[in-house]
Amino acid sequence: TLRLIYTTVTVQRKNVGASGPEKYTETFIKKQIEEFNLGKRHLANMMGEDPETFTQEDIDKAIAYLFPSGLFDKRARPMMKHPTEIFPEQRKIQWGEDGRPFHFLFYTGKQAYYSVMHETYEKLLNVQKYQDQLTAQDLPPQKEKRNLAGSRWLTKIELEEMLLEKLSDDDYSRFVQLLQKLMTLPCGDIEEKYIQKFTKEVPVQLQKVVIEPLKYDERGVAFSTGEGIRKTARATATVYDNGTGKVTVNGIDILHYFPVLQDREQLLFPFQFLDRVGKHDMVCTVSGGGRSAQAGAIRLASAKALRSFVTEKEVEFMRQAGLLTLDPRVKERKKPGQEGARRKFTWKKR
Amino acid sequence: LRRLTQVRWSRYNPSFLEPEVNKELYQKRPEELSEKEKETLEFKAVRPIKAAPPTLSSSVFSDPMISKFTNMMMKHGNKVLARSLMAQTLEAIKRKQLEKYHKAPEDEKETIECNPYVIFHQALKNCQPIIGLSSVTKGGKTYQVPVPLKDNRKRFLAMKWLITECRENKNRRTMMPEKLSQELLQAFNNEGPIIKKKHVLHKMAEANRAYAHFRWW
C-alpha cells in the first residue's frame, strides 16, 4: 500500500538567505546609468538650466526643492546619484561555463588579497636583484628619502573596497608590513608607482585652520579674541597688546576669582610658553562648569587669541604642546543596571 | 562603530599623539636638531595632538613626578588639600636641610643637598625595587616567581610604599608633611623602613630564584 507523505510549502521553498545579497548584472547597471543620464537631462530641462553643465550639486539642490522631506536621517531622504554610488561594486562571476575558475588562486578563498601579496613580493625580489646588480657593478646604492610624513597607507576598509574582498586584521597588518619592507629598501623610482597605489596624501594639520588678523580698538591698541570650551564651561577671551600682564575674569581679578594655584598656572601657560608673560592684558568672561573646567576653557580661549599675535612656526609649536586642541573628555553617562558610569552594584552571592 | 568596545577606552581617536610641553625642544634652531628629532617633528606636523591635561604646564614649577605623587596622595578628589600637603612637605625638607647646612662645618657644606626636588627624585629612585614577585599557578600550586619590573611599575611601587608607610606608621599627633619629609630624607640616605621593604622584596626574589624558569614572558 502507498502512504501519502504530507510536506508543508515552507520545506519546499528555496533557502532565500543562502544566495547572499542581490546580484546585479552588467546589463542592469548599464541600463541604470542610461536612465540616470536621461533623468539628469530631464531634470535640467525642468529647472530651466543647461543640460550639458548640470553638476551633481545642482541635482541635489533640485531634488531637495522638488521633493522636500522633513526626515532626520539624510540617507532616508529622496536622492538621485550616479548608479555606481548607489549599487555597491560586486565581483563578477569568477568561473566560466565549464565551472573552471579564471584566477589560479581562486581556491585560496581570498584570491585578490593573495595575488596582491604575490605581486608585492615579486617587486621586492626585483628590487633586491637590482641592488645586487648595482653592487656587482660597484655603483653606490641609490638612497632617496621619500617624505614619509606626507602620505599614509590605505586603511583596512579602503583596501577591502579596492580588492572587493573581506580581509582580517592579521591579513591587513601583514600586507602593510610587506609594503613597509619594500619602502625601506633603497629602491627609488622603480617601485614608486606601484607603492603609490596603496598610499594616500595626508595634508599638514595646520593648513586646515584659518588664523584671524589683528584688530585695533579706539586707543590704537591691537587686540584679538578667542573662544574656549572645556566640559560644560564656555569662555571668551580678549587679549590686548602693550599690557602689564593684568588678567580680569568676569570683572574680577584672577587672584580673587581663582584662589587655587593650579588654575592660575593654567591661565598663564600659553603666555609662559611663548615668553610673553608681562606683555599682554587679558579680559575674559566665563560661565558654566567647575573651577578647573573654567580655567581650561580660558586657557584654550587665550591660546586661540594669541595665534594672531604670533608667527606660524610658533602656532605649530603651540599646537604640538597641546594648547590649541579642544579637550573632548566629558562626564560619562550613568548606565542602567549600574550604580555609576563604571561602578557596578555590590555583588551579592544570594 | 566597533562592536566590542574595550574597557579602557578614551574619548580621543587612537591617531592622536601625546603633547610635548618642554619649551627648550621648540626653541632649538633647525641646525641643532638631530635626525630623529627632525623626523618626529615632521611626523607630528601631520598628526592631531591631544590637549594638555590641567596638571601639565611648561613652567619651571610643574614636575610630572610630583604631580603623579600628589594625585596618589589625594583622597576623594580633594586636590587642593593634596597639593598643599605636598608644598608643606617640600618646605619642611628645605627647612631641615638648611638647619643641617648651617650647623655643619665648612668642608661638609658642599655635600649637603638643599634642593627639595633633587632630594625627592633621588629618594624615589632609591626606593624603586629592581625585581618583583608574580604568582604563577602550575600543577595546582601557586609559586612566587621573580620577575623583572617595568619602569612605570617600579615608580608606582616606590610611591605607593612611601604613602602607605606614612599613613599607617605615624603617630596620631604628627602631621603628614612632617612624617613624609622624614621618610624622604631617610630614603635619600638609603635608610628607613621603605628601603628595608625594598631589600626584603629583593631577598625574597633571590630566595625564589629556583622558580625563575616558570616565567614565560
Question: A285: part of which helix (H) or strand (E)?
Answer: strand A281-287
* Domain edges within chain B: 16-62, 63-214
Q: How confident is the model at residue B34 (pLDDT cuts 50, 70, 90)?
A: confident
Q: Is A269's CB within 8 Å of B51's CB?
A: no
Give me the numbers of helices (H) and strands (E) for chain A, helices first please: 12, 8
| Nearest chain B CA: its distance from A169 CA (Å) | 13
Per-residue pLDDT, A140: 66
Of the candidates A260, A266, A322, the beta carbon closest to that of B19 is on A322
Q: Which three cell numbers stand for residue B58?
A: 611648561
Amino acid code (one letter) for A225? T
Q: Which of A309, A125, A96 is nearest to A216 (CA)?
A: A309
Rounded Cα distance between A166 and A87, Å, is: 18
Distance from CA of B104 to the nearest CA of A (A): 35
Domain assignments of chain A as residue spans, ordered by start:
26-86, 106-201, 215-321
Cell reading at A131: 641592488
Give B127's Cβ-side CA count (13 Å radius).
27
Q: Does B113 touch chain A (CB under 8 A)?
A: no
Report the distance separating Cα B105 and Cα B100, nearest Å. Answer: 10
Residue B101 C-alpha, separation from nearest chain A C-alpha, in angstroms: 30
CATH topology of domain A215-321: Ribosomal Protein S5; domain 2 (3.30.230)
Cα distance between residue A238 and residue A227, in whole Å: 9
- Cα separation of the two ends of chain A: 63
Amino acid at B23: K
Under the banding of pLDDT at 50, 70 and 90, the label for residue B151 is very high
The per-residue pLDDT for B161 is 95
Q: What is the pLDDT, as a whole number, of residue B7?
A: 66
* pLDDT exceeds 50 at position B213: yes
Report the CATH fold assignment for B63-214.
Answer: Ribosomal Protein S7 (1.10.455)
Helices (H), chain A: 9-12, 26-47, 56-66, 83-86, 111-136, 156-163, 169-184, 192-196, 254-257, 261-273, 291-306, 312-320
Q: How many CA atoms lie within 13 A of A265 on its CB side?
A: 16
Q: Does the beta carbon of A108 lie under 8 angstroms from any beta carbon of chain B? A: no
Q: Does B61 touch chain A (CB under 8 A)?
A: yes
Residue A258: all three cell numbers together:
581663582
B169 at A interface, C-beta within 8 A: no
Tens digit of each residue's pLDDT (9 = 90 or more) over B153-187: 999 999 999 999 999 988 888 899 999 999 999 99
Q: Give just the sign of the alpha carbon dihedral A179, A180, A181, A186.
A: positive
- Those of residues 187-206 in A touching chain B at CB distance below 8 A are 202-206
Q: Which of B11, B19, B45 sits opposite A328 (nearest CB)?
A: B11
Question: Looking at residue B2, what is its pLDDT?
Answer: 47
Name every residue whose Cβ is closer than 8 Å to that of residue A93 and which is 6 or more positions away in sequence.
none
pLDDT score recorded for residue A144: 63
Residue A251 DSSP label = T
**Three-class DSSP labels, B120-172:** HHHHHHHHCCCEEEEEEEECCEEEEEEEECCHHHHHHHHHHHHHHHHHHCCCC
List chain B residues with CB under 8 Å of A204: 45-46
Pairing of the two strands A281-287 and A247-249: parallel
What 8-state DSSP symbol labels residue A202? -
Enter the pTM of the model.
0.77
Task: Tell whether B45 is within 8 A of chain A (Cβ).
Answer: yes
Q: What is the pLDDT of residue B5?
A: 57
Q: What is the ipTM of this complex?
A: 0.87
* DSSP-derived pairing of the beta strands A215-216 and A199-201: unpaired
**Phi (first) and psi of residue B63, to 5 degrees:** -125, 125
Asked if B38 has any chain A CB less than 8 Å from its own CB, the reply is no
Alpha helices in chain B (DSSP H): 23-27, 35-46, 64-73, 79-103, 116-127, 151-168, 176-188, 193-207
Which residues on chain B are in Cβ contact (under 8 Å) with A147? 42
CA dist A67 → A24, A50, A173 (Å):
28, 21, 46
The alpha carbons of chain A give a radius of gyration, in whole angstroms, of 32
B54: nearest CB among A150, A292, A316: A292
Confidence of residue B39 (pLDDT cuts 50, 70, 90): confident
Sort out which chain A residues have CB atoms less than 8 A from B23's CB and list them: 273
pLDDT of chain A along its 350 residues, tens only?
Answer: 777 777 666 656 666 667 777 888 889 999 999 999 999 999 999 999 899 999 999 999 999 999 999 999 989 999 999 999 888 888 888 888 898 999 999 999 899 999 999 999 999 999 888 888 888 887 766 666 666 667 788 888 899 989 998 899 999 999 999 988 888 887 667 778 888 888 887 776 666 777 788 888 888 888 999 999 999 999 999 999 888 889 999 999 999 999 999 999 999 999 999 998 889 999 999 999 999 999 999 999 999 999 988 888 888 899 999 999 999 999 988 999 999 999 999 999 98
The answer to whether A265 contacts B62, with C-beta atoms less than 8 Å apart, is yes
Tell me how close the Cα of A271 comes to any Cα of chain B, in angstroms. 10
How sure is the predictor about B1, in pLDDT bands with cuts at 50, 70 and 90? very low
Closest by alpha carbon to A273, among B25, B145, B47, B45?
A: B25
Q: Could you give the C-alpha distances from A95 to A25, A100, A104, A244, in angstroms and in order? A: 15, 5, 11, 80
Within an 8 Å CB–CB cutoff, is residue B71 touching chain A?
Answer: no
**Residues 6+ away with beta carbon under 8 Å from A268:** A277, B57, B59
